[in-house]
């Protein structure tokens, strides 16, 4: 059996109150999201949400930096949703996010217009 103090201590960090201990993201919430990702996910070790808390930081860092580059190119100082969408469209590793951010653009795509494929 796991030691109660260690496990609950790690998982209780975070939430809206902002108390996340040494981690920036709430581990219990991460665990919930992991569980929802697939019916095959049965058990999750204590370290997995921890690895994700760091990985999500790295992910947010990378996507934010790339989005900001788009913002700068547009000579703006406010990062907008469209900048994130552009960063996703131009980065291979973020292909899995394309549908998530581009669900609105299908209305605007006109295959007969001057978009040359």
Partner 1 sequence: MDDSSNKFSVDETANQQERLLPIANVGRIMKQILPQNAKISKEAKETMQECVSEFISFVTGEASDKCKKERRKTVNGDDVCWAMATLGFDDYAPPLKRYLDRYRDLEGDRSTTPQTNNINEDHDDQLLRPSSSSAAKFN
Binding site for partner 1 (CB under 8 A): 3, 6, 14-16, 18, 20, 24-26, 29-30, 32-34, 36-38, 40-45, 47-48, 50-52, 54-61, 63-65, 67-68, 71, 77-81, 83-85, 88, 92-93, 96-97, 100-101
Count of Cβ atoms closer than 10 Å to residue 109 Cβ: 9
Give the nearer residue to partner 1 in terms of CB position, either 75 or 115: 75
**CB-hemisphere CA count at 13 Å for 52?**
17
**CB-hemisphere CA count at 13 Å for 26?**
12
Quick one: tokens of 1? Answer: 């059996």
What's the min distance (Å) between Cβ of 76 and partner 1? 9
Give the nearer residue to partner 1 in terms of CB position, either 41 or 109: 41
d(CA 14, CA 11): 8
Give the nearer residue to partner 1 in terms of CB position, either 58 or 117: 58
């Amino acid at each position: 059996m796991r030691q109660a103090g260690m496990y609950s201590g790690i998982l209780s960090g975070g939430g809206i109150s902002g108390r996340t201990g040494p981690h920036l993201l709430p581990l219990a919430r991460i665990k919930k999201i992991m569980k929802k990702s697939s019916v095959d996910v049965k058990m999750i070790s204590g370290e997995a949400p921890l690895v994700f808390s760091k990985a999500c930081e790295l992910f947010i860092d990378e996507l934010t930096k790339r989005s900001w580059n788009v913002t700068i190119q547009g000579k703006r100082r406010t990062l907008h949703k469209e900048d994130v969408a552009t960063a996703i469209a131009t980065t291979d590793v973020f292909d899995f996010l394309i549908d998530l951010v581009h669900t609105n653009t299908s209305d605007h795509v006109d295959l007969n217009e001057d978009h040359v494929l």
